[in-house]
Amino acid sequence: MNGYDELETALRSGDPDLKEGIVGQLLKHCNTEEIWRSDTGGSPQNFSEPSYADFCRIVDPRDLPRRRNFASDEGLAVLVHSILHIEYSAVDLALDAVYRFREMPAEYRRDWLEVAADEIRHFKMLREVLGSLGYDYGDFPVHRGLFDAASHTAGDVLDRMAVIPRHYEATGLDVNPQIVRKLLPHRSRPEVGRLLEALEVIYREEIEHVRKGDRWFRYLCERRGLEPGETFRKILERYDLRKKRRPGLNVTARKAAGFACTELRELGAERCEE
């Protein structure tokens, strides 16, 4: 078995169960260096389409259905489907982080395989909620923003750690409590109750995922003699990800995930205590 070949199989597949099986096997053999020899497998491939392209209709983000009426089955399903799509995409992002950046240490490899296992579990929890509403993954259109972000950062692991965990996943930490607040008036519905439970698990574990991204971002900055705050700012600018000041920045969660107050204030935090 070659670990990188197995990862490529998982990345090309749209079957979450196959992905889960491969991740489980690779975690068992994560410390077996023989399976991670780059010279026994093919070089990393650039994928032209996401693995969900065969069963999801991909549209421009402006054409996605609006998430409004959480009191109806369809309205709630639209919300669940959008979060489910993020979790599915996150599985492939974690797998690609291992598959593509083969020069990184073994601890990095284990970190992102563990993240992939978590994301698969999140996906399955949300898929059950969606199923209880009478829908399944692929029943609503999706966008490919995270796939494109991964493609754009395929050339440098430093950029990948900055853009995916430290920007996009950290933004998820900001958004999660906002979604929860909107759902609370509907919590008497059993489906909403299960969704709130899933969101609590996802929120708690995503802090650890962002922390792992922060760890490897800082590791790479140190190796390259770069100052983390300035480097992060420059990478966001390079990918046109700089945002205006905005309310709702989750200072507590971001600090727990490794962000410094100086960074958070620059990102828009009105208050942050060291």
Q: Distances in Å between the alpha carbon of 251 and those of 206, 219, 259, 263?
A: 14, 22, 9, 10
Q: What is the pTM of this model?
A: 0.95
In a domain, 24, yes or no: yes
Q: Which of 66-70, 135-139, 177-181, 262-266 has the lowest mean pLDDT?
A: 66-70
The average pLDDT across 15-40 equals 91
The average pLDDT across 105-130 equals 98
What distance lies between CA 170 and its chain's CA centroid?
A: 9
User: For the chain, what percent of residues have pLDDT higher than 90?
Assistant: 84
Side chain identity at residue 79, one-letter code: L
Do 112 and 96 form a contact (C-beta atoms < 8 A)? no
Q: Give the integer Cα–Cα distance in Å for 266 and 252.
A: 15
Token digits of residue 30: 């994560």
In a domain, 270, yes or no: no
Tokens 């960074």 map to which residue?
A: 263
Q: Name the band, by pLDDT with cuts 50, 70 and 90, for residue 145.
A: very high
Q: Distances in Å between the alpha carbon of 222 and those of 86, 216, 254?
A: 31, 10, 21
User: For the chain, what percent of residues have pLDDT higher than 70?
Assistant: 97
Tokens 């942050």 map to which residue?
A: 272
Residue 274 has pLDDT above 90, yes or no: no
Q: How high is the pLDDT of residue 107?
A: 97
Q: Name the band, by pLDDT with cuts 50, 70 and 90, for residue 1.
A: confident
Residue 245 has pLDDT above 70, yes or no: no
Radius of gyration of the chain (CA): 19
Q: How high is the pLDDT of residue 41?
A: 62
Q: Distances in Å between the alpha carbon of 230 and those of 4, 95, 236?
A: 33, 28, 10
Q: Give the integer Cα–Cα distance in Å for 186 and 184.
A: 5
Largest CA distance in the chain: 56
In a domain, 104, yes or no: yes
Do 210 and 112 form a contact (C-beta atoms < 8 A)? no
In a domain, 256, yes or no: no
Q: What's the chain's average pLDDT?
A: 94
Residue 142 DSSP class: B
Q: How high is the pLDDT of residue 129?
A: 98
In a domain, 259, yes or no: no
In a domain, 245, yes or no: no
Range of the domain at 179: 3-239
In a domain, 201, yes or no: yes
Considering its fold, how many domains does the chain have in total? Answer: 1
Q: Which of 16-20, 106-110, 259-263 has the lowest mean pLDDT?
A: 259-263
In a domain, 274, yes or no: no
Q: Give the integer Cα–Cα distance in Å for 183 and 189.
A: 10
Q: Give the integer Cα–Cα distance in Å for 223 and 67.
A: 43
